Structure 1
């Protein structure tokens, strides 16, 4: 019996070491990059007052998005997001290059922004507002007692 116990000790030590190594590896952050911004060398080729929309696309590539108004501008956005275990993903860095145009479609301005330049703006909010907030199930059920009308039941015969 003592021989079996002595044989399990090295194996259990290896198993514990492997489990600790796997746990430590699972706690390393994972970074994901999204989007594209042109490098500074390519942006230097774009001349304010000279280049047009087509020449900008040719020089630095198609924008990530463009303005809502037709002639407002091109926007290049890059984000770096850190995923760390079960925590909520965190935006570590975000860069935006905005190229605006005048009425003739000629470059008017080139600007670069980062997270440190302002507040986070929610671009898309998909929340359905509810009129029953703060009311429990029983309160909702009892609140509908006087509102029942058999004529509103689908398929009920109307007399």
Structure 2
């Protein structure tokens, strides 16, 4: 009877633990930013629609150009994350909307994930003068350098 109890206990525990372990490996998809409706984007006409029309149809932009509000950027990204693995970008869209100085739609361009380029950052380091000290050398090196009485 103790063997069947042990087998039942093991089966019960496996029934509880297995779904938890499998649930931890479930992937989650998160959507960030603004994905304007492609039909709304294609309905915009150059020289006809204003900033207000674009904002009404597409919503507020993710960001504006740095010095003037002549260029609006709608940026959206869909990312899948599974357990401890690196996130995988499923979709990325950047819509650039440019306006003329009088506020009329001048042009728009849509870029997808395939249009992006991988940038290889420079890994070189700038050489610096001086010595590389450990934390102990830094702490002990300052002992006796300061006058506790101040300048007299």
Taking a change above 3 Å as real, the CA distance of residues 144 and 89 of structure 1, as seen in their structure-2 partners, is: farther
**Counterpart among 30, 33, 36 of residue 32 in structure 1:** 30
1:13-35 CA-to-partner distances (Å, cap 9, x unmatched) read 23123322221121111111111
**CA RMSD, Structure 1 to Structure 2 (Å):** 2.7
Partners of 1:51 and 1:134 in 2: how far apart? 61
Q: Does 1:111 align with 2:100?
A: no
Partner of 2:146: 149
Note the 1:38-77 alignment, pairs <5 A: 38-77=36-75
- What is aligned with 1:7? 5
**Correspondence list, 1:121-140, <5 A:** 135-140=133-138
Partner secondary structure for residue 69 of structure 2: coil
Tell me which of 17, 20, 23 is aligned to 1:22: 20
Residue segments in structure 1 that go unaligned for 5+ positions in a row: 122-130
When residues 132 and 104 of structure 1 are mapped into structure 2, their CA distance, relative to the original with a 3 A threshold, is: farther
Q: TM-score, normalised by structure 2?
A: 0.77
1:47-105 C-alpha deviation (Å, 9 max, x unpaired): 11221111111222211211112133111111112222133434332211110112222
Secondary structure of 2:7's counterpart equals helix
Q: Report the TM-score, using the length of structure 1 for normalisation.
A: 0.74
Query: Which of 108-117 and 10-19 deviates more?
Result: 10-19
Whole-angstrom CA distance in 1 between matches of 2:24 and 2:12: 18
- In the alignment, is the contact (CA less than 8 A) between 1:71 and 1:102 conserved in 2? no
